[in-house]
Chains A and B, each alone.
Chain A
């Protein structure tokens, strides 16, 4: 054999312990991660006329709908910002999260045909979604910039906050970790309780309205604001507006609560996911 085959010995026995993250195995399957990212991207637009153009159109149409319904119709506050830009910006952080959770919130059931027939670290599947969803996100940012830059050049009422802009990648990274954590948690739970797979779209919808996406945090009363502070996505959604418009409410306490929540959910997600990974093939 021309392969350098290290005689790595693997022992299969009943696993114990709460978390047993095998990073070496994950690393061995890194090619699968990229193939899956590519697969999701390519397969999504097979036999569509517009292809990846949908990534551009979808957020635009959504922002347009919000502008018409909430901006023109219900006249909700936009912190004094142009409504179309306000909604586009609010959707930036949110749709990435929603994309990831919507695709990988039910990983076990969705992949049961593969999971019961072939072994690979199951974590690869939600990870591939977290990475793959960055592509539509980046496109969405570019579309936003196409509208934002011309408007910003002529704007006097608002201006970008460059420090916050520099920190935005961190907010995106946190959104990624949080989205992964929630996906792991819901995947793990819905592997056993299928009820959750029906509840997930509803949860996503409610969650969007509970996050300052289509309204600014400043619009909420003190009680509602205290509740909103418990949502780790709150400072992320507000953060995008602080960065691009210099308008919004983000402070150290909000960030600390959000970070702590993210970590907590991520660890809980890992535990739930790994429990499901061990028993899934036996209960399906």
Chain B
């Protein structure tokens, strides 16, 4: 094997939980005054190690997936790799130019036209002007915005905005491309197009892609290898399919109920605090008979929201395929915006939907623009696991993914 293009060695990152609050002169002064009078310093809320002793290599031309639960350190790792923040200890060697796409459309200016924003965004991502000019037509064609090139992007639909942003980043020619969960937005057809583009980037152009995703099916399909982070450390590194199935197997050990740990960092504008799977009688359970319906109950807090937002409940099979995504689009507009409140929701699934087996549940909250999800507030996948027992299932358990039992008739 040749020299790795990315070498991560014993990287650790500490966040000072007490220090984050010290953003005004007054609190700094109070701390100093307290110390000067011999008082014990204000009880430090402590420190939080987002990453500890993370080491792995990435070879040139590899597509590597980074998976793990929320709070496992994925975002922190990407931030360090993209030089937005630096590690507390350890080091990373990057043998190539990096472009990272942590959020689509970063650095877009709403008043400028699509054309100007392509240059602005490209330059922000470290591209030279000549390089952008060379790729310009390809970017425009990929984003499908030819007709709106001279329109200010503030008049773009959210879909056009996302397409343009991804197109700029995907057509850069960095040797290392870092992508965080951007595929959670946009419509299905465009998501497929993005995944295809990422595959091309790696396969035909020999570039290296680092890809954080909750979409286990995409990770096992696209990535050569995967890194599983848990609690800030590396839980497993290896061929993507193996790491993903080990991760899913572990995730399904989770019970049918979840409560947010008290020390978990809250970042999104909407954060989940509890979730559970309930049977038809409203009892929290982990096993649902095939013949019964079930419900996923959610509790979330609305913080600094400025736009309507939707809740999504996804059901995944044991291979990580998303079988069903239930979005409360219709209710979202009626719910409105009201920071500070707690929202409780129940998503009821009819009996006989799934065939016997193990399933996981993911939940997420997204900002809405019209009826399209545009920005992801928070996502937990997989969060809950439950089992459908064969009780009431008359067919042989085997092929297919659905549990709906059609009625056979034989007209003479």
Contacts and interface: CB of A to CB of B under 8 A. Distances in A.
Contacts of B205: 1
A43 interface: yes
Interface stretch (A6-14, A82-90, A155-163): A6-14
Interface string B75-105: 0000111111111111111111110101100
Contact of A194 (B24, B79, B89): B24
B328 interface: no
Contact of A117 (B20, B103, B126): B103
Interface string A30-61: 01101110110011001100000000000000
A11 B85 CA distance: 13
B84 A118 contact: yes
A203 to B, nearest CB: 14
Contacts of A32: 123-124, 126
A12 B173 contact: no
B54 to A, nearest CB: 13
A35 B123 contact: yes
A14 B124 contact: no
Given A35-B123, A114-B106, A118-B124, A195 B25 contact: yes
Nearest to B206: A1
A77 interface: no
A34 B124 CA distance: 11
Interface stretch (B109-117, B190-198, B220-228, B400-408): B109-117
A283 B19 contact: yes
Contacts of B116: 38-39, 42
B332 to A, nearest CB: 24
A56 to B, nearest CB: 21
B100 A118 contact: yes
How many of chain A's residues touch chain B, expressed as a range?
Answer: 35 or more
Nearest to A42: B112
Contact of B106 (A10, A31, A117, A194): A117
Given A29-B126, A283-B23, A119 B82 contact: yes
Given A42-B116, A119-B100, A9 B94 contact: yes
Contacts of B93: 9-12
A12 B92 contact: yes
A116 interface: yes
A115 interface: yes
Given A1-B205, A32-B124, A281 B79 contact: yes
A115 B83 CA distance: 10
Nearest to A278: B86
Contacts of B339: none
How many of chain B's residues touch chain A, expressed as a range?
Answer: 35 or more
B337 interface: no
B112 A113 contact: no
A12 B123 contact: no
B25 A193 contact: yes
B23 A193 contact: yes
Interface in B242-300: none
A39 B112 contact: yes
B316 interface: no
B32 interface: no
Contacts of B346: none
B187 interface: no
Given A12-B83, A282-B85, A118 B25 contact: no
A270 B55 CA distance: 33
Contacts of A5: 96-97, 175
Given A7-B95, A31-B128, A283-B19, 15 more contacts: A5-B96, A32-B123, A32-B126, A35-B120, A36-B123, A43-B109, A46-B112, A47-B111, A114-B106, A117-B106, A119-B126, A120-B126, A281-B79, A282-B16, A283-B20
Interface of B: 15-16, 19-20, 22-26, 28, 79-98, 100, 102-103, 106-107, 109, 111-112, 116, 119-120, 123-129, 131, 152, 173, 175, 205-207
16 contacts: A5-B96, A5-B175, A8-B95, A10-B93, A11-B94, A13-B91, A31-B123, A31-B128, A35-B119, A35-B120, A35-B123, A35-B129, A43-B111, A116-B84, A117-B106, A193-B25
Interface of A: 1, 3, 5, 7-15, 28-29, 31-32, 34-36, 38-39, 42-43, 46-47, 113-120, 192-195, 278, 281-283
